[in-house]
Structure 1
């Protein structure tokens, strides 16, 4: 597509004024389109430069420089484009508009503001995907999934801990084995007599959230998940295995542990994550 820079297109147009004596040529006055084109070339600008600066489409710029104002959609819009292009190339818009009005039957009647604004409105640039909104949605989905996992893990952990702790000893009667185990003591610090009854051939770990809520995870010696979820303040969980119990405490500073009937006196820091392993006999931190 030509940018209108051909030397032949830049030749001045001679005209004979009707106000001068016959046969005496007046100084050539370029047309509106030619004046805009010559000023653009003198400024070292291309049609693409003008389009970028004014947002007037390339096809309309070429048409105006060729004095074809039909693509503008009317004299009102043509005058608006002439004013915009004149400012971009450093010409006085008033002189070009006066010349345009003289050549096109005078200044047109005012056009209502709403249609004029709609016609001259700049077309918005095409935007790419909104990655920020997509990331926020993804984060919300992950948080929701984690919360759902904690809730499901808490329900499953209750079943696992009850099943592990419901193993009857050989001395228990059939009637006592048929009765469901009583739920764990909700008090944060159980009595010593209750924990002292833990079987010697197993490892028994009781986790109590005494100072606040904490996420915990518990596994048996085979890596089977016994519990994975949140303990609210005042809640307790008891885990039992033949060999060892592995714990992960999300906020160890709010947790009190009882292992094989003994209170663990480790000074856990608030907010610290602790990974612990307890076995039969005296408690030993893994």
Structure 2
């Protein structure tokens, strides 16, 4: 009795499946790259089952989902196949080892109380000596006035005109200032909350405002007169405030999202 291959053994690789679906849809690599914002070298690499250029498993899953939707495939089986071939989804890494370097800080220097006490004693002695010297000097001057004659009549000292109080310095803007964004512009503030995320931001005329990695805890604010176009490489790790309002959309970790926002209430373009 011969044992044939299982259906899973006969299924094509992830890259082969994406390539066949792209060809069947009549799309070129350039067209797929333009519609998904995934760079051409990465699309070629994924179709060759080379995921080393994705930047990690999280981004590889996100690229697989994005490319699958672009060529008309269900991304879930492909992501499941990727997890099976690469050891499954990794368990959350404890935060302590990742940020151990941040906790190792030099101990603050303790105040030198001895030096402070010595300085205080010196200051007291100097004040007492100055007071005694000033008192003796005032007595001598009084005696000199008695010997020479009556003291000259002193004119009343004019009262000093109270100066206008200096204006209080304006407080520095805080994170809550995003709630007072101008109504004639579109303002987007994004923060990497749970993990790092690659982001790209462009103005309405296509000018690139930012293209890079936003580390956990970092924030970026962008503003334009008409529209902001965004790409989030790890949308589930980011928090968005658009025109002063928090965006309530629930994104998944590793999900690649293309968003556009204009003036008024947050509306996904």
TM-score (norm 2): 0.36
Q: Which has the larger radius of gyration?
A: 1
Higher relative contact order (CA 8 A, sep 6+): 2
TM-score (norm 1): 0.34
